[in-house]
Structure 1
Amino acid sequence: MNDIYFCRNDILELIYQSDFQGSDFTCPLDFHSVRGYVNTLEFRDNWVARDIEGYVFDKELNSVSYHPESKLRNEQRLPFQVQCSWNGVAVLNSKPFYDKDPLRFRRSRVDTGECSASECSLLCNDFWDRGYRRIIVVPEILVSYRLQNAVLLGPKYNLTPNITRTLEEKIKYIDGPEKVSCYSLEGTEFDSPSQSEKWVNYTSSGTKVL
């Protein structure tokens, strides 16, 4: 968990969805206000988040993914499958951290040509590489890093809009993308990605989701 503002029931819902969906990696959406437009909210962590086709999340909270099934599920505030996310907090399958050669948060292996991505992106990729590939976002849960943004959530963004849910809550998992979009952060003088987009391989063991 990062230094976020959240409600305790939000964390309980993430734990519930992790169990109900049988997911290995379960996250909310994080948000902030648009610079210069304090009352307009948008998705925050698009350096890390990738949809199930490998594309960067859009900033629009109601349509972070253009993958048809994911977009519809997001609009209905239902959990949807992604290639990677973190978004402030994650409920993780702990088994990869106790396996032989346990996983850990790490830096990119630039000497091998690996894209210099966020440590959270690399953790997602390592989960995929070990066969832990059920990664989901629960859009009904939103968290923020600033109190001034968190207090806007109720009046500015309706978590339970007047919608008719036509889809089942249970996710039907599909296989992952062959490659993902990556924006590399190289050097120490930057606080955001310094390189242009490139599409990269992220696993050496396949993308099939069982």
Structure 2
Amino acid sequence: MNDIFFCRNDILELIYQSDFQGSDFTCPLDYLSVSGNAPILLFRDTWVARDIRGSRFGQSLDDLSYHFETRLRNTQKLPFQVQCSWNGVAILNPKPFYDKDPILFRRSHSDKGECSASECSLLCNDFWSRGYRRIVAVPEILVSYSLHDAVLLDTYYDRALKTIKTLNEKIKYVDGPQKILCVGLEGNNIIEPDMPGIWVNYTTGETKVQ
């Protein structure tokens, strides 16, 4: 968990969805606001989040991905499958951390030509490489990094609660992409990626999701 503002029941919902969806990695969406007559909430973690095609999320909370099934499920605020997500907090399958050859939060292996992605992106990739490939975002749950943004949630939640859901809550998992878009950060004392995006292989194993 990052240094976020969150509602207790939202964390319980993430735990529930992790169990219900049988997922290995379950996340909310994080957001920031743009001031105006009516503040606009925008998706925040575009550096890490990748849809199931391997593309970056957009910033509009209502239009995160061009992937058809993702767009449809997000419109109804239902959990959807992704290649990677973190977004402030994640409910993780603990097995990869104590299994044979346990994974760690790590830096990229730049000496081996690995793209200098976020440690959260690399964690997703390491989950994929070890066969833990069910990664889910729950758009009904939002978290923020400031009290100013946290108090803006009521309107979003009111709208989400009124959303008519016609699709099955249960995700039908599909196989992952062959490559993902990686945007590296190689400079010192900066917090924004400074390298052009490149499409890279992200797993040493298969991309099949079972």
TM-score range normalised by the length of the shorter chain: over 0.9
Which residue in 1 is equivalent to 2:51? 51
Deviation by residue 1:168-191 (Cα, 9 ceiling, x = unmatched):
000000000000001000021321
Q: Distance in 1 between matches of 2:196 and 2:157?
A: 32
- The answer (yes or no) to whether the contact 1:125–1:203 under 8 Å persists in 2 is yes
Deviation by residue 1:137-183 (Cα, 9 ceiling, x = unmatched):
00000000000000011135645253321210000000000000010
Which residue in 2 is equivalent to 1:20? 20
Q: Distance in 2 between matches of 1:149 and 1:38?
A: 13
Which residue in 1 is equivalent to 2:149? 149
Which residue in 2 is equivalent to 1:84? 84
- How much is the aligned-residue C-alpha RMSD, in angstroms? 1.4
Which residue in 1 is equivalent to 2:120? 120
- The answer (yes or no) to whether the contact 1:39–1:156 under 8 Å persists in 2 is no
Q: Distance in 1 between matches of 2:152 and 2:38?
A: 9
TM-score, with structure 1 as normaliser: 0.96
Q: Distance in 2 between matches of 1:85 and 1:198?
A: 18
Q: Distance in 1 between matches of 2:5 and 2:141?
A: 12
Which residue in 2 is equivalent to 1:99? 99
Q: Which amino acid aligns with 2:62?
A: N
Identity, % of aligned positions: 67
Which residue in 1 is equivalent to 2:140? 140
Aligned length: 210
Q: Residues 164 and 155 (structure 1 numbering): CA distance in 2 closer, same or farther, change over 3 Å?
A: closer
Q: Distance in 1 between matches of 2:52 and 2:37?
A: 30
Give the match's secondary structure for 1:73: helix
Structure 2: gaps of 5 or more residues: none
- The answer (yes or no) to whether the contact 1:28–1:138 under 8 Å persists in 2 is yes
Q: Residues 137 and 187 (structure 1 numbering): CA distance in 2 closer, same or farther, change over 3 Å?
A: same
Give the match's secondary structure for 1:20: helix
Q: Distance in 2 between matches of 1:46 and 1:19?
A: 26
Q: Distance in 1 between matches of 2:74 and 2:6?
A: 20
Q: Which amino acid aligns with 1:43?
A: F
> How many Å apart are 1:34 and its aligned residue?
2.2
Q: Residues 151 and 86 (structure 1 numbering): CA distance in 2 closer, same or farther, change over 3 Å?
A: same
In the alignment, structure 1 residue 109 sits paired with structure 2 residue 109? yes
Q: Residues 145 and 71 (structure 1 numbering): CA distance in 2 closer, same or farther, change over 3 Å?
A: same
In the alignment, structure 1 residue 207 sits paired with structure 2 residue 207? yes
TM-score, with structure 2 as normaliser: 0.96
Structure 1: gaps of 5 or more residues: none
Which residue in 1 is equivalent to 2:193? 193
Worse-matched range after superposition: 51-60 or 147-156 = 147-156
Deviation by residue 1:14-67 (Cα, 9 ceiling, x = unmatched):
000000000000000000012677811100000000000000000000111110
- The answer (yes or no) to whether the contact 1:140–1:159 under 8 Å persists in 2 is no
In the alignment, structure 1 residue 31 sits paired with structure 2 residue 31? yes
